């Protein structure tokens, strides 16, 4: 019964709403912002490298990027890419790229709004912290707190519970396959490590992410580069195969994997699951940052870069390693983590499966702690952001990690897709409704740049832009 309900919701979301809605909204913002994800690509790096240490009230832009990447770069980058290839063929990777390309504009828009409408809260009676996200800009920007509350509940269910179960499931599978560890043991160890970090709150999560994320992504990229170099002559043919298969010109596999619709649907679904652009997740940590320059748009550029790194860089690494191996058979029995492990075993030898298992562990573990950080923002919006509320949430998150390690992959992935679909639908409507604000902020940002000034946003000078924003933050 539960599987039937989940399948019905996924049919509605992924065949009639989001598969077109995500691309349409991303294209909408790309056009309205004049394709700045290409023409202003350098600005994404400028706002990261020019930012000094943050103040005591927020986290740094780099910490916000790493924390969002901690959530973005997870099982979707390894197991999810393999699933997309198995079900949709090589063309699914092309559609993952398209989702990322337009998703960079969507990520910019939602994180810019999260910065504008963030609030300042006092924590532990002394130190302050910034909180925000889609629930806050829905309530403050659209004047619909009830819809913000629905979004917050969806976020807690999906990120605090379901998505963390997905990550734990992938870790348990990888460890069982590579080292023969019982899934219960993996679940208990992972739950203990998760508790150590999340009980320290947002700042501890950001600190851990700053160290772990650059290291894990760097090592994974080096392995992928090695595979590319050793198979250099096959790369042009592989790229041509990806593009041709994306439009249904590739060979059919089981009557499904070669079709354009299968490639598009699986590429879009797994692409969103990986980079989260438009879902309304990353804006929650974007709001916690002290932006530099002191302008809402600067954090939008940071999070657009996060989408690029996640999908165009990390997901592509996984896809190339699989497609350049003989382990890949469209529609074959191998899928998910096992397919990636088999591909890397062929490329680098017996150490391959173990490397994938370790990579899965780090990618998925950081996703768990990043997902929890988002849940804290939702709890705060619902008025449950106190010591008791956070304690209950943390205990449930740890329990879900153990539960997820023991569940079947199909059930967990399908439930994650349904949760993600509902969240994304609410968020996409909200950011389109507030698109005029995003455009006005962007125009102001680059007007300041053209004058040779560092962009600064003062709410008192632009009351028409920031109705509902907290005046003390944007003095």
Go through the domains of the chain in sequence order and give each one's CATH number.
2-451 (1.20.1740.10)
Contact by Cβ (8 Å): 91, 260: yes
What confidence category does residue 361 fall into, taking pLDDT thresholds of 50, 70 and 90? confident
Tell me the Cα Rg of the chain: 21
- Strand pairing partners for 123? 127
Instruction: Quick: pLDDT tens for 295-354.
Output: 999 999 999 999 999 888 888 888 888 888 877 777 667 777 778 888 888 888 778 888
Mean pLDDT lowest for which of 209-213, 353-357, 408-412? 408-412
Count the Cβ atoms, other than its own, within 10 Å of residue 95. Answer: 25
The model's pLDDT over 42-87, given as tens digits with 9 standing for 90+, comes to 889 888 876 555 455 567 888 888 888 887 877 778 878 888 888 8
Instruction: For the chain, give the mean pLDDT.
Output: 83
User: In terms of Cα–Cα distance, which of 234, 306, 255 is closest to 37?
Assistant: 306
At 89-107, the pLDDT tens digits run 888 889 889 889 999 999 9
Strand partners, 130: 120
* pLDDT level of residue 202 (50, 70, 90 thresholds): confident
Of 326 and 190, more confident: 190
Position 1 scores a pLDDT of 64
SS3 455: coil
Instruction: Taking residues 143-156, report their average pLDDT.
Output: 90
What pLDDT score does 255 carry? 46
Output DSSP code: residue 289: B
The confidence score (pLDDT) of residue 148 equals 92
Transcribe 435-448 into DSSP letters: HHHHHHHHHHHHHH
Residue 169 contacts residue 404 (beta carbons within 8 Å): yes
Query: Does the pLDDT of residue 252 top 50, yes or no?
Result: no
- How far apart CA 209 and CA 70 sit, in angstroms, is 6
- Inform me whether the pLDDT recorded for 432 exceeds 90: yes
Collect all residues with Cβ–Cβ distance below 8 Å to 176 and sequence separation of at least 6: 182, 183, 186
Q: What average pLDDT does range 238-244 have in this prediction?
A: 84
203 burial via Cβ count (<10 Å: 0-12, 13-18, 19+): middle
Q: What is the largest CA-CA distance in the chain?
A: 63
Q: What percent of the chain has pLDDT over 70?
A: 92
Question: Quick one: how far is CA 177 from the chain centroid?
Answer: 26
Residue 395 CB: number of other CB atoms within 10 A?
Answer: 12
Q: What is the pTM of this model?
A: 0.88
Q: Which of 68-77, 217-226, 357-366, 385-394 is predicted with the least confidence, judged by mean pLDDT? A: 68-77
């Amino acid at each position: 019964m539960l599987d039937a309900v989940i399948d019905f919701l996924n049919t509605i979301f992924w065949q009639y709403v989001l598969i077109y809605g995500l691309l349409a909204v991303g294209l909408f913002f790309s056009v309205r912002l004049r394709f700045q994800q290409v023409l202003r690509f350098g600005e994404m790096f400028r706002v990261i490298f020019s930012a000094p240490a943050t103040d005591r009230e927020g986290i740094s832009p780099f910490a916000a990027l790493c924390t969002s990447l901690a959530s973005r770069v997870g099982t979707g980058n390894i197991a999810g890419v393999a699933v997309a290839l198995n079900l949709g063929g090589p063309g699914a990777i092309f559609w993952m790229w398209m989702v990322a390309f337009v998703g960079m504009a969507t990520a910019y828009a939602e994180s810019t709004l999260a910065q504008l409408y963030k609030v300042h809260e006092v924590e532990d009676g002394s130190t302050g912290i910034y909180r925000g996200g889609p629930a806050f800009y829905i309530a403050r920007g659209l004047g619909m707190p009830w819809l913000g509350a629905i979004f917050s509940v969806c976020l807690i269910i999906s990120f605090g519970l379901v998505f963390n179960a997905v990550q734990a499931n992938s870790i348990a599978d990888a460890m069982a396959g590579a080292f023969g560890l019982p899934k219960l043991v993996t679940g208990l160890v992972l739950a203990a490590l998760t508790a150590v970090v999340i009980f320290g709150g947002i700042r501890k999560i950001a600190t851990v992410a700053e160290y772990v994320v650059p290291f894990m992504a760097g090592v994974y990229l080096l392995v992928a580069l090695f595979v590319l170099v050793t198979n250099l002559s096959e790369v042009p043919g592989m790229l041509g195969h990806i593009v041709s298969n994306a439009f249904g010109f590739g060979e059919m596999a089981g009557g499904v994997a070669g079709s354009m619709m299968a490639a598009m649907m699986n590429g879009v679904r797994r692409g969103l699951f990986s980079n989260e652009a438009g879902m309304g997740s990353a804006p929650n940590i974007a709001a916690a940052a002290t932006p530099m320059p002191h302008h809402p748009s600067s954090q939008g550029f940071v999070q657009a870069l996060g989408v690029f790194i996640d999908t165009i860089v990390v997901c592509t690494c996984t896809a190339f390693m699989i497609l350049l191996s003989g382990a890949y058979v469209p529609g074959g029995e191998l899928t998910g983590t096992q397919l990636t492990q088999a591909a890397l075993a062929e490329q680098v030898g017996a150490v391959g499966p173990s490397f994938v298992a370790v990579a899965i562990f780090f990618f998925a573990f950081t996703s768990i702690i990043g997902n929890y950080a988002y849940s804290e923002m939702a709890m705060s919006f619902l008025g449950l952001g106190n010591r008791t509320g956070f304690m209950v949430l943390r205990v449930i998150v740890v329990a879900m990690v153990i539960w997820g390690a023991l569940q079947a992959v199909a059930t967990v992935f399908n439930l994650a897709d349904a949760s993600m679909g509902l969240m994304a639908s609410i968020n996409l409507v909200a950011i389109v409704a507030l698109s005029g604000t995003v455009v006005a902020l962007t125009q102001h940002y680059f007007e300041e740049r053209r004058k040779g000034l560092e962009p600064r946003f003062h709410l008192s000078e632009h009351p028409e832009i920031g109705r509902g924003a907290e005046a003390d933050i944007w003095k």
